[in-house]
Amino acid sequence: MQAAAGLFITFEGIDGAGKSTHIENLADALRARGRQVTLTREPGGTPLAEQLRELVLHQAMDPLCEALLMFAARRDHLRQVIEPALARGDVVLCDRFTDATFAYQGGGRGFDLAVLRQLERWVQTRPDANSLRQPDLTVWFDLPTAVAAQRLAGARVPDRFEAEPAAFFERVAQGYAQRMAEDPARFARVDSSQPREAVWLAVRAAFEQRGWLGRNDGAQRVGP
C-alpha cells in the first residue's frame, strides 16, 4: 500500500500535569517503529508563533486579545508546520492545541465559547476547505489541581497562566472535561496522579489500542 497516513496527536492538561516526558517517550517509540515524527507545541512551533507565545505568556491583555493571539499563532503553525507534516505522512505530536483554548480562555477566563467555536472554524478549515482539521487523538493528562500545584511549586518563575489561583485551574479542568464530553472518541483521558510509570503505560495503551504502537514498543525513558 501507499506510505503511512499522517497522524495528528495532541496533549493537554492543566499546568503541572507532566506531559513532557511522555511526549518524548512517544516520539522515541514511534521513531523506533520507523515513523517520521514532528514534535511541536502551542502556542508556538514557528518563528512567528513563538513570538506570539512570548507575548501571550508574559504581557497583560484582555481575554479577546488572548484568544485572538492563540488562534493567530495556531493559524501560522497549521499552515507552516502541521499541514505540511501531515501531508508528508508524519506523526505530529503537538503539546497543546485548540482544546487548551477552550479550557484556558473559555473555562479559565470565562470567554464566550461561541466566539471560540467561530475562530476554530476559521482557523482550522483544511486546505480542501470542506472540513476542519482536528486531532486524530488527544491525550488528556487529568489530575487534581492540588496535585498539579504541588508539582509546580517552586519550579520556576510562573508565567501569566501558571500564576493563576486554584479556582482558575478548576475551571480549566472543567473546560477539558466539557471538550471531551463533546467528542469522546477523540480523547484518551489518563489519570496523571498515578506514578509516572503507570501514566506512561496508560499513554502507550491508547496508542496500542489504535494500532499505532505494538506491545513491546517504548521502553520507559528514565526520568530526572
Could you list the residues that contact ligand TYD (CB under 6 A)? 15, 42-43, 70, 95-96, 100-101, 104-105, 161-162
**b/e 76-98 (16+ beta carbons within 10 angstroms → b):** bbbeebbbebbeeebbbbbbbbb
C-alpha cell at 222: 528514565
Residue nearer to ligand TYD on the CB measure, 95 or 142? 95
Integer Cα distance of 151 and 32 in angstroms: 31
Beta-carbon contacts of 160 under 8 Å, excluding residues fewer than 6 positions away, are: 56, 57, 58, 59, 60
Q: What is the DSSP letter of 185?
A: G
Three cell numbers, residue 221: 525513558
Q: Which is nearer to ligand TYD, 156 or 215 (CB)?
A: 156
Instruction: Write down the least CB distance from residue 19 to ligand TYD, Å.
Output: 7
Q: Which is nearer to ligand TYD, 8 or 213 (by Cβ)?
A: 8
Smallest distance, ligand TYD to C-beta of residue 208, A: 26
Nearer to ligand TYD, 112 or 162 (CB): 162
Closest distance between ligand TYD and the C-beta of residue 14, in Å? 8
Shortest reach from residue 63's CB to ligand TYD, in Å: 10
